[in-house]
Amino acid sequence: MPAEKPADVPGGTAGQTFTVDEFLGLARSLDPAQVRLCAVLGRPVAHSLSPVIHHRAARGNPHFRYVRVEAGDTAELRELTSAAPACVGGYSVTMPGKPVALQIADTATARARAVGSANTLTPVRDGRGRPTGRWSAENTDVDGVTTCLNSVLGDAVPERAVVVGNGGTARPAVAALVARGVRHICVAARSERALGLRSLVEGGTGDEGESRTGATFSWVRLDSPELPGVCEDAGVLVSTVPEAAAGEHAGDLALAGAVVDVIYDPYPTRLMSAAGSLGRPVADGLLMLAGQGAEQFRLFTGSTASVSTMYSALREHLRLD
């Protein structure tokens, strides 16, 4: 982008929350040669911390703006993509729009398709950088989990891992563990809905019933007496459920060799505290948010963002330091 004539978004809109119509009206008022406008989409979205990390990554760049948009259903996401002016550089997508984002995109990465949802939408551009009207979907939540795994494991690849929960965040957690080369993943959940993750762990099966990914699957109920032993045998555990659910079993879950808890409200969670008291390496949901955000920022701008800088910005914003 040109370095001259710094662009101001009218009204000091950084981090503000807009309706779909308000956002598109703002975007139409901006010069695409001067401003790259991005947004996080969700419902509710006012609580999103995404503006914190993206504005920190863009510090010193007067041409980048990032706001919140209250949007989550199919019609709203279609309008935000089909009517987006050239200045729009992409969208972060939180719930409930992640499955919708994958559905409406013209193209998607293999991992977004495997996970079954997308948290990032970016306009496909031609050789001169002009938007083509087509949109691409990605799931950088996988990068966020990978960042956490790198933090607690270094280069180690544990034989066994546990994923707590079977919802939307559990899927990128499984994808990150499979990509790392973990050989067995046990899903700890309240019900047999955990079986829905089996195909993602195994990648389907071959002619002789073998796992295509090389990873095998099992599941255990959260209230099972087997849970402590399952966790103790695991090199790493990734919890994707709210504090109310994980905290009830924190002592058992913390027995894993390392712990990732994607929840950051409250902070610290009971699971984080229990794992820390046992001397286990711990990574939190703020690090996951920073890790996925850094890859989003690269997709939006073509520039590299520092995960550690984003993470520090979150801790400062939440007054955790």
- Domain membership of residue 312 (yes or no) is no
- Domain membership of residue 305 (yes or no) is no
Identify whether the C-beta of residue 228 lies closer than 8 Å to the C-beta of residue 249: no
pLDDT given at position 130:
87
When pLDDT is cut at 50, 70 and 90, the band that residue 210 belongs to is low
Tens digits of per-residue pLDDT, 258-306?
A: 999 999 999 999 999 999 999 999 999 999 999 999 999 999 999 999 9
> Where in the sequence numbering do the catalytic residues fall?
98
pLDDT given at position 311:
98
pLDDT given at position 74:
97
Identify whether the C-beta of residue 152 lies closer than 8 Å to the C-beta of residue 260: yes
When pLDDT is cut at 50, 70 and 90, the band that residue 206 belongs to is low
Identify whether the C-beta of residue 121 lies closer than 8 Å to the C-beta of residue 101: yes
The CATH number assigned to the domain holding 240 equals 3.40.50.720
The CATH number assigned to the domain holding 45 equals 3.40.50.10860
- Domain membership of residue 293 (yes or no) is no
Tens digits of per-residue pLDDT, 19-48?
A: 999 999 999 999 999 999 999 999 999 999
Quick one: tokens of 103? 């559905």
pLDDT given at position 205:
52
Q: Assign residue 8 a region (left: φ > 0; alpha: ψ between -120 and 50; beta: otherwise).
A: beta
Does residue 12 register a pLDDT over 50? no
Residues 133 and 176 in one domain: no
Question: 1 or 159, which is more confident?
Answer: 159
Last residue of a domain, one of 86, 118, 139: 139
pLDDT given at position 204:
61
Identify whether the C-beta of residue 194 lies closer than 8 Å to the C-beta of residue 242: no
Residues 170 and 97 in one domain: no
Residues 74 and 171 in one domain: no
User: Whole domain around residue 228: which residue ranges?
Assistant: 142-286
Residues 95 and 151 in one domain: no
When pLDDT is cut at 50, 70 and 90, the band that residue 16 belongs to is confident
pLDDT given at position 14:
54
Residues 164 and 84 in one domain: no
Residues 173 and 132 in one domain: no
Residues 34 and 150 in one domain: no
- Domain membership of residue 291 (yes or no) is no
Q: How many CA atoms are closer than 13 Å to the CA of 30, on its beta-carbon side? A: 29
Identify whether the C-beta of residue 101 lies closer than 8 Å to the C-beta of residue 93: yes
Last residue of a domain, one of 92, 118, 139: 139
- Domain membership of residue 260 (yes or no) is yes
pLDDT given at position 4:
30
Residues 165 and 278 in one domain: yes
67-92 average pLDDT score:
97
Quick one: tokens of 90? 């992409």
- Domain membership of residue 12 (yes or no) is no
Last residue of a domain, one of 105, 139, 173: 139
Residues 69 and 187 in one domain: no
- Domain membership of residue 299 (yes or no) is no
- Domain membership of residue 103 (yes or no) is yes
pLDDT given at position 129:
82
Per residue, what are the HEC states of the chain? CCCCCCCCCCCCCCCCEECHHHHHHHHHCCCCCCCEEEEEEECCCCCCCHHHHHHHHCCCCCCEEEEEEECCCHHHHHHHHHCCCCCEEEEEECCCCHHHHHHHCCEECHHHHHHCCCCEEEEEECCCCCEEEEEEEECCHHHHHHHHHHHHHCCCCCCEEEEECCCCCHHHHHHHHHHHCCCEEEEEECCHHHHHHHHHHHCCECCCCCECCCCEEEEEECCCCCHHHHHHCCCEEEECCCHHHHHCCHHHHCCCCCEEECCCCCCCCHHHHHHHHCCCCEEEHHHHHHHHHHHHHHHHHCCCCCHHHHHHHHHHHCCCC
Query: Which residue type is seen at 169?
Result: T
**Residues composing the chain:** 321
When pLDDT is cut at 50, 70 and 90, the band that residue 212 belongs to is confident
When pLDDT is cut at 50, 70 and 90, the band that residue 8 belongs to is very low
- Overall domain count for the chain: 2
Tens digits of per-residue pLDDT, 156-198?
A: 999 999 999 999 999 999 999 999 999 999 999 999 999 999 9
Residues 258 and 171 in one domain: yes
pLDDT given at position 5:
32
Residues 30 and 104 in one domain: yes
When pLDDT is cut at 50, 70 and 90, the band that residue 15 belongs to is low
The Cα–Cα gap between 17 and 47 comes to 10
Identify whether the C-beta of residue 105 lies closer than 8 Å to the C-beta of residue 136: yes
Residues 100 and 169 in one domain: no
Tens digits of per-residue pLDDT, 102-151?
A: 999 999 999 999 999 999 999 999 988 888 999 999 999 999 999 999 99
Does residue 7 register a pLDDT over 50? no
